[in-house]
Amino acid sequence: MNRSEEETRARLGAVAQALHRAYVHEQALGTLLSAVEGDPLDMLILAMLSQATSDRHAQVAFSRLRARFPAWAQVLDASTEQIQDAIAFAGLGAQKARRIKEVLELLAGRGVLGLGWLRGYARGEAMAFLTGLPGVGPKTAACVLLFGFGHPAFPVDTHVARLCRRLGVAGPRERAGRIQERLERLVDPAQARRLHLTLIHHGRRVCRARRPACARCALASICAMGQESSGPAGKTTAPSGGERPT
Ligand code: SF4
């Protein structure tokens, strides 16, 4: 590990500690931390539904899908139009329905309509299998590994990417896939799940895409952009830039 990576690792550790201190007593985050985990195939379908929409819309679509088809075998037997109708709330219904059906057909073709058998695989092998499925990229696969298997993967969504760029642990225009690789290499595995969720929480509440609240941010003393945005007299101004779509 070179010096710059050591510094990034130290900064990530400091970020994890500061966010833990900031939110340790917050009930909403506690609920989130205890709620986000489950059967790996459930996590995969939920992550596929969450592509290009909010977590809330994905959750509603997932609940409607499970209410209509309580077993994945029933989803497999359903028509694409029936699946599309059930998941419409998440948007891109036709595309997502087609991919969900393709994934289930592939798994059924292997003889098991589930992903539990991946548990014994090394993380790299499990990642390779998952990203080989239709419509499954590194972020979706990392969600399955982290929340379905408890592997220290690090999905990088738009909030995580924005924070990493502003904090100075990623380049200002660095792509989400590269950021994910770095975080998976440098974040303490024991901290991955909590840090992932607290970064998202912080990105929604404080370090928003527009008008981040640097003046009340628990990361202000660590953050590259937050320090840049403080004037010489300590006056905080809104940071700009550092944003690109993931
Ligand atoms: S100091 Fe500002 S830019 Fe940095 S993490 Fe906090 S809110 Fe975001």
226 lines ligand 1 (CB under 6 A): yes
Q: Give the dihedral of Cα atoms 26, 27, 30, 32; nearest 10 deg.
A: -110
- 178-226 confidence digits (pLDDT tens): 999 999 999 999 999 999 999 999 999 999 999 999 999 999 999 988 8
- CA 208 / ligand 1 centre spacing (Å): 9
Question: Where do we find the tokens 């220290």?
Answer: 152
Q: What is the pLDDT of residues 6-62, one digit of tens each?
A: 999 999 999 999 999 998 887 766 666 666 678 999 999 999 999 988 888 999 999
Q: How far is the CA of 246 from the centre of ligand 1 (A)?
A: 19
Give one DSSP letter per residue of 80-95, joined into a string. Answer: HHHHHHHHGGGS-HHH
Of 96, 101, 139, 235, the active-site residue reads 139
Is 212 near ligand 1, meaning CB less than 6 Å away?
Answer: yes
Closest CA to 140 of 246, 245, 63: 246
User: Any idea of the CA torsion for 214, 217, 218, 219, to the nearest 10 degrees?
Assistant: -30
* Whole-angstrom distance, CA of residue 140 vs CA of residue 130: 9
Does the pTM surpass 0.75? The reply is yes
Q: Check if 214 has its Cβ closer than 6 Å to any atom of ligand 1.
A: yes
Helices (H) and strands (E) in the chain, counts: 13, 0
| Number of the ligand 1 atom closest to the C-alpha atom of 213 | 7
Active site residue 96: no
Say if ligand 1 is within 6 A of residue 166 CB: yes
Q: How far apart are alpha carbons 105 and 52 in whole angstroms?
A: 24
| Domains, the chain, ordered by start | 3-34+154-229 (1.10.1670.10), 38-148 (1.10.340.30)
Burial of 97 (0-12, 13-18, 19+ CB in 10 A): buried
Interval 122-172: pLDDT, tens: 989 999 999 999 999 999 999 999 999 988 899 999 999 999 999 999 999
